[in-house]
Amino acid sequence: MAGNQRPSSEIQIRVNSRRGYNAVHPVEIDATTPQQLSSSAAAAASPGVLREVKHFKKWVPWLIPVFVVANTIVFIITMYVNNCPDNSDSCIAKFLGRFSFQPFKENPLLGPSSTSLQKMGALDVSKVVDDHQGWRLLSCNWLHGGVFHILANMLSLLVIGIRLEQEFGFIRIGLLYVISGFGGSLLSALFLQSNISVGASGALFGLLGGMLSELITNWTIYVSKFAALFTLVVIIAVNLAVGILPHVDNFAHIGGFLTGFLLGFVFLIRPQFGWVSQRHASPAYDSAPVKSKFKTYQCVLPLKNIYGYSNKKENRNYPVAFFGKFIFERDSSIGTAISLSWLTVGLVMLLRGVDANDHCSWCHYLSCVPTSKWSCKTEPAFCWSNQVGDQLNLTCSSNNKTSTYTVSNPSSSRIQGLCTQLCS
């Protein structure tokens, strides 16, 4: 062919390398006439017919919204169980009845009491170790300390989680979320053994960690690589920095982030665009050298990566499927080994009653740095009580404050609530 004309049988595949585009768009053929395109015989003979091949499936996100609804329902149930009017005389938003909030001095997040959170499954190390309630390592991720707490976490979950679920599907992101939450709870329980802990922050940081490892693993797919990396690192650093403030469980953040970062190498790997474009090219181009599906650095970490494609070009319909959508491919894995080792060793240490602070004298600064403005001492409230008729006398053990309340036959949760206010 002379000049710039192309044969009518030629087809060009243009793969948009910008991250987030999910289709291969063939380029129009210069020599193909409208008459040729209208002819079914010509269409069958020529591979140049326009078509769109979707090689990265775009998932419809539904699991993340379900998580948000589930967290909200659990919070409403927690407020119902809390029943502030029966346990305190100074509830906030009393017009809400039993859904009203604990006094601001007791819970500045507008939420339930710590006793109610314990009843609902908050992370309490003594109950996990002594009472064998290991399920609290998972249940605490679905509880929140107050309205402000759940609003911040759920908005973050929607922003981060929906984008990930659209690209990688509900199975991978669901597993990443739940396992990261467990990892965050585990590290928190090893270091913060005198506090109760609730919140989805560990799972959220797991999604952030997964995003970082996904960016590293699929580096060649991104156009603005360093801009994306810089933005993500800044977001992670700022959130971890906030964690050094008092009453914030930064160990859950760190544990969730590290777990998600390692799992991201397993769950969130993408084939290279060169392999994808060759896979969807015309049969006339099968004689071209077979391109590698993954770069060498992508194959270092994953063990059982979940993909939507077979690794063999000549066997595109490999029959081993997972829920009809995914294919497990076996490779050597450092990431999976480290993840499983950390979760297993950490759980064994916790169930044996190991306090990680005994083996790391400075690690407590990762969760709270004391300054002249605040203290990092978060000992649970304890009071001496004396009931005479309708008079209840309480003395806080930490600050020696004493107060008298007029209450008849107070429940243990009512006394604990009054004690918490007195010691605050």
Positions marked active-site: 201, 253
Q: What distance in Å separates the CA atoms of residue 220 and residue 223, rounded to the nearest whole number? A: 8
Could you say which DSSP state residue 372 is in? S
Q: Percentage helix, strand, coil, to 5, in the chain?
A: 50, 10, 40
Q: Are strands 304-307 and 196-197 parallel, antiparallel or unpaired?
A: unpaired
Q: Specify whether the CB–CB gap between 286 and 279 falls below 8 A.
A: no
**Intra-chain end-to-end CA distance of the chain, in Å:** 86
Q: Which tokens hold the place of 2?
A: 């002379």
Nearest Cα neighbor of 275 from 262, 288, 258 is: 288
Q: What distance in Å separates the CA atoms of residue 28 and residue 48, rounded to the nearest whole number? A: 8
Find tokens 């209208």 and name the residue: 38
Give DSSP secondary structure letters for 100-152: PBPPTTT-TTS---HHHHHHHT-EEHHHHHTS--TTHHHHGGG--SSHHHHHH
Give DSSP secondary structure letters for 50-77: ---B--S------HHHHHHHHHHHHHHH
Q: What distance in Å separates the CA atoms of residue 105 and residue 36, rounded to the nearest whole number? A: 78
Q: What distance in Å separates the CA atoms of residue 339 and residue 344, rounded to the nearest whole number? A: 9
Helices 201-217 and 170-191 pack at an angle, to 10 degrees, of 120
Q: What distance in Å separates the CA atoms of residue 174 and residue 276, rounded to the nearest whole number? A: 26
Q: What distance in Å separates the CA atoms of residue 341 and residue 295, rounded to the nearest whole number? A: 26
Q: What distance in Å separates the CA atoms of residue 87 and residue 417, rounded to the nearest whole number? A: 7
Find tokens 């922050």 and name the residue: 201
Residue 34, number of CB atoms within 10 A of its CB: 7
Sign of the C-alpha dihedral computed for residues 28, 34, 35 and 39 taken in this order: positive
Find tokens 């967290």 and name the residue: 71
